[in-house]
């Protein structure tokens, strides 16, 4: 992993203020199951990681008063979604979907917020830095000094990146 500083704010307000102060040099992390592998491949090289794991406000699950709506905090793990009694009883399809994501270890760490904010998955983009450098960088993250040389390796004639969702 590239070197980084880890900050663990005590409130959402503190986390937001820290991100505003640090700008693009900082990233939020909770589960980290996607972020850390991407950092290892040098796709992201934040100088500061702002840890959200201990913020209780982001780790709650509750039904609204009508029983028809559900609030899931962004720091709730996929395993918690899959096993929560209110979700199992009122939203069984959501519980089932969460239970089918990846492997148990990743469901235990991965969060709803992280999975909703996943970066795109692309067979070309999601490779190591030396691999991408040897092939030539893509449009997703043009790291080439000559950014005009970057292309979408999925659709070579396209002037834009076509890996637009985490399932691509």
pTM for the predicted model, two decimal places: 0.78
Residue 168 has pLDDT above 50, yes or no: no
Domain that holds residue 76: 59-116
Task: Give per-residue pLDDT as tens, 8-19.
Answer: 999 999 999 999
Same domain assignment for residues 95 and 108: yes
The whole-angstrom separation of Cα 48 and Cα 46 is 5
The whole-angstrom separation of Cα 23 and Cα 11 is 18
**Domain total of the chain:** 3
Domain end marker among 116, 141, 158: 116
The tokens for 83 are 């096993």
Same domain assignment for residues 44 and 76: no
Same domain assignment for residues 63 and 112: yes
Same domain assignment for residues 95 and 140: no
Name every residue whose Cβ is closer than 8 Å to that of residue 80 and which is 6 or more positions away in sequence: 61
Are 69 and 94 in contact by the 8 Å Cβ rule? The answer is no
Same domain assignment for residues 1 and 52: yes
Same domain assignment for residues 124 and 101: no
Average pLDDT, the chain: 87
CATH of the domain at 89: 3.30.465.10
Helices (H), 91-163: 92-99, 104-109, 112-116, 129-135
Task: Give per-residue pLDDT as tens, 113-136.
Answer: 998 888 766 777 777 788 878 877
pLDDT for 62: 94
Helix (H) or strand (E) holding 131: helix 129-135
Is the model more confident about 162 or about 95? 95
The tokens for 26 are 């900082």
Task: Give per-residue pLDDT as tens, 41-73.
Answer: 888 899 999 999 999 999 999 998 887 899 999
3-class DSSP assignment, residue 138: strand
Same domain assignment for residues 48 and 67: no
Same domain assignment for residues 127 and 78: no
Are 78 and 36 in contact by the 8 Å Cβ rule? The answer is no
Same domain assignment for residues 68 and 109: yes
The whole-angstrom separation of Cα 124 and Cα 119 is 13
Same domain assignment for residues 105 and 136: no
Is the model more confident about 152 or about 75? 75
The partner residues of 77 in beta bridges, in order of sequence, read 111
Task: Give per-residue pLDDT as tens, 154-163.
Answer: 777 777 776 6
Domain end marker among 116, 144, 159: 116
């Amino acid at each position: 992993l590239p070197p980084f500083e880890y900050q663990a704010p005590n409130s959402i307000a503190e986390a937001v203020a820290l991100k505003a102060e640090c700008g693009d040099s900082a990233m939020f992390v909770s589960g980290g199951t996607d972020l850390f592998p991407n950092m290892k491949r040098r796709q992201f090289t934040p100088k500061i990681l702002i840890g959200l794991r201990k913020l209780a406000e982001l780790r709650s699950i509750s039904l609204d008063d009508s029983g028809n709506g559900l609030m899931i905090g962004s720091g709730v793990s996929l395993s918690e979604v899959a096993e929560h009694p209110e979700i199992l009883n009122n939203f069984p399809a959501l519980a089932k979907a969460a239970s089918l994501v990846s492997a148990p270890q990743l469901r235990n760490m991965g969060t709803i917020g992280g999975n909703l904010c996943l970066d795109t998955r692309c067979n070309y983009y999601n490779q190591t830095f030396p691999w991408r450098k040897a092939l030539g960088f893509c449009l997703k993250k043009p790291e080439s000094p000559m950014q005009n040389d970057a292309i979408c390796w999925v659709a070579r004639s396209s002037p834009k990146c076509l890996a637009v969702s985490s399932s691509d």
